[in-house]
Structure 1
């Protein structure tokens, strides 16, 4: 049964038409997308492909795949972006919101005032990166994810 009023589910319903930034990587359980509303190019979200609202509601198969995706994304960030650390965050405080994990590459030159949880200072800022830049990065990260599977 389709879920109404869920941005993530609405995007999933049109998966084949999504731009590269909305489908950086995927399998039957998870999809990787560039976050919206972030000033930081490369800030991704990892979302289950079915409507889930709480971590406790993941199936064992989804949970196992979640761990693999998190590690793979951290490896791709290190290889492709040279980031020394990857932040993986799930807060889920918005009522009725689709479960999602923020997967954030911490740049080497990140302002110390924005490290750790303060990285969320990059959300809600104007997005300087145009869609073509996000799509180009998405294509690059997607290819790197594919190479990890070889």
Structure 2
């Protein structure tokens, strides 16, 4: 992949210098970041650490890890934010995109118009509605601490 051709890969190349909000959790195959441009604290994005464009391109190991990460993130968000439900979505319609999964906590008091697919109305509203860098980093640190618990100890 050419530098600058994929934002996610470019960020991965800077892994050791990334802020907490971009390395909430990771293993050899996946990395968890807090979404930018979101009006919802805890809107996470799960990205493969290698360049992958389609779900069908995942290896068996990546696919197995995907399910584990989604469940672990839903549990961590519920414990940290008190959210009863977590949405998971993957659309990837932009040309040349890097495969990614939105892992979105659904607050109890979420406006009914923003439930289900409507939750995407909380993305791209502008800086005034965006969760601050400070808030994203603070939550990232708390989630990272929860994710350090071994998988088999979670439930």
Give the TM interval when normalised to the shorter protein.
over 0.9
Distance in 2, Cα, partners of 1:109 & 1:94: 31
Could you report, residue by residue, the CA deviation over 1:11-44 in whole angstroms, capped at 9, with x for unpaired residues? 0000000000000000000000001111111101
Distance in 1, Cα, partners of 2:106 & 2:150: 21
Could you report, residue by residue, the CA deviation over 1:43-77 in whole angstroms, capped at 9, with x for unpaired residues? 01000000000000000000000000000001111
Distance in 2, Cα, partners of 1:128 & 1:37: 5
Secondary structure, aligned partner of 1:31: strand
Superposition pairs of residues 52-63 of structure 1, within 5 angstroms:
52-63=52-63
Secondary structure, aligned partner of 2:140: helix
Distance in 1, Cα, partners of 2:70 & 2:2: 27
Distance in 1, Cα, partners of 2:80 & 2:150: 12
Q: What are structure 1's unaligned runs of at least 5 residues?
A: none
Task: Give the TM-score normalised by the residue count of structure 2.
Answer: 0.92
Following superposition, the deviation at residue 130 of structure 1 comes to 1.8
2:37 is aligned with 1:37: yes
Q: 1:2 to 1:50 in 2, by over 3 A?
A: farther
> Is the Cα contact below 8 Å between 1:89 and 1:101 reproduced in 2?
yes
> Is the Cα contact below 8 Å between 1:32 and 1:44 reproduced in 2?
yes
Dislocated runs of 4+, deviation >2 Å:
1-4, 126-129, 147-150
Secondary structure, aligned partner of 1:87: strand
State the aligned residue count: 150
Give 1:110's aligned residue.
Answer: 110
Following superposition, the deviation at residue 88 of structure 1 comes to 0.2
Alpha-carbon RMSD: 1.3
Distance in 2, Cα, partners of 1:19 & 1:123: 21
Following superposition, the deviation at residue 133 of structure 1 comes to 1.1
Q: What are structure 2's unaligned runs of at least 5 residues?
A: none
Following superposition, the deviation at residue 87 of structure 1 comes to 0.2
Give 1:121's aligned residue.
Answer: 121
Following superposition, the deviation at residue 2 of structure 1 comes to 4.9
Task: Give the TM-score normalised by the residue count of structure 1.
Answer: 0.95
